[in-house]
């Protein structure tokens, strides 16, 4: 892309986790012990084998792009987002992210539930590197956006999960990110608040903030993104325009449905 700098570079990224293919129960082990004593035991072995959540993924995202990550459950979408945001390390390959980023995956992450909402604004902002003197300049914007003014001096442990999510979203989007990683978080609160969240993300997009958005919602991906990356069973199936990717993705789903 002309006049755009690469802001996220992923080269041959692979990530595996270990899963137990066979783990004997205590009853089974007791039975095997008796059978070995009687000389009738059959050898059943089990071992931990790697499960490749991502395999040989490569792509580049440029400054100001809005990219949707799509695919079925278990395709590797959230694992990819966690790797991009440095929550987990790649098993193989490299990930380079150039710029301040904010990750909106678990919106309650980083909260001290014994502290009040106000205290958590300062606490979370400190994690992002903002001293209290700077937070003072935009804390009113966070409070206004969250719609939690009446509860701001209440311990967060008394908040509902929706209230915690509202506060987490409000803090993150006011931290002036260059890159924002989103994972199905635009369903926070009621429909009016959801619309406000979507509008704020669109404003960030207009300011040339780079957006990487994981979602099952075709409508929201089309609204927020200009490009889509389709993952399937840990592999990158397609990287292109939202229209082209969803056409191919939908065709595969319909094709599988007609063969079952």
pLDDT per residue rounded down to tens, the chain (260 residues): 556 799 999 999 999 987 654 444 444 544 555 455 556 555 554 455 678 999 999 999 999 999 999 999 999 999 999 999 888 999 999 999 998 888 877 666 678 899 999 999 999 888 778 899 999 999 999 999 999 999 999 999 999 988 888 898 888 888 888 999 988 766 666 678 888 888 888 999 999 999 999 988 899 899 999 999 999 999 999 999 999 999 999 998 877 766 65
pTM of the full predicted structure? Answer: 0.79
DSSP 8-class letter at 126: H
Instruction: Give the residue from 43, 41, 25 showing the smallest Cα distance to 33.
Output: 41
User: For residues 7 and 179, is the Cβ–Cβ distance under 8 A?
Assistant: yes
What is the helix, strand, coil percentage profile of the chain, to 5?
40, 25, 30
Helix (H, G, I), strand (E, B) or coil at 6: strand
Distance CA 217, CA 68 (A): 10
Q: What angle do CA 57, 59, 60 make, to 5 degrees?
A: 150
CA distance 80 to 88: 9
pLDDT of residue 57: 97
Q: How far, in Å, CA of 216 to CA of 125, rounded?
A: 30
Degrees (nearest 5) of the Cα angle 84, 247, 252?
Answer: 85
Q: Where do the domains of the chain lie, and which CATH numbers do they carry?
A: 66-87+100-259 (3.40.50.300)
* The predicted structure's pLDDT at residue 12: 97
């Amino acid at each position: 892309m002309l006049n755009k700098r690469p802001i996220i570079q992923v080269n041959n990224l692979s990530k595996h986790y270990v899963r137990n293919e066979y783990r004997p129960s205590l009853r089974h082990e007791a039975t095997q012990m008796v059978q070995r004593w009687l000389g009738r035991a059959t050898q059943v072995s089990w071992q931990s084998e790697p499960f490749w959540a991502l395999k040989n993924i490569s792509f580049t995202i440029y400054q100001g792009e809005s990219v949707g990550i799509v695919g079925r459950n278990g395709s590797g979408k959230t694992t990819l987002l966690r790797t991009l945001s440095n929550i987990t390390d790649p098993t193989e390959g490299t990930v380079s992210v150039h710029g301040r980023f904010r990750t909106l995956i678990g919106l309650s992450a980083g909260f001290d539930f014994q502290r009040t909402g106000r205290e958590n604004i300062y606490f979370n902002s400190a994690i992002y590197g903002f001293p209290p003197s700077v937070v003072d300049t935009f804390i009113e914007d966070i409070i206004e956006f969250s719609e939690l003014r009446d509860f701001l001096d209440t311990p967060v442990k008394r908040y509902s999960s929706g209230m915690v999510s509202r506060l987490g979203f409000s803090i993150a989007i006011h931290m002036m990110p260059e890159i924002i990683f989103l994972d199905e978080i635009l369903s926070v609160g009621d429909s009016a608040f959801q619309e406000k969240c979507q509008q704020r993300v669109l404003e960030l997009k207009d300011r040339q903030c780079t957006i990487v958005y994981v979602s099952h919602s075709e409508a929201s991906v089309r609204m927020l993104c200009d490009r889509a990356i389709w993952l399937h069973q840990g592999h990158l199936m397609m990287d292109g325009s939202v229209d082209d990717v969803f056409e191919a993705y939908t065709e595969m789903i319909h094709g599988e449905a007609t063969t079952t």
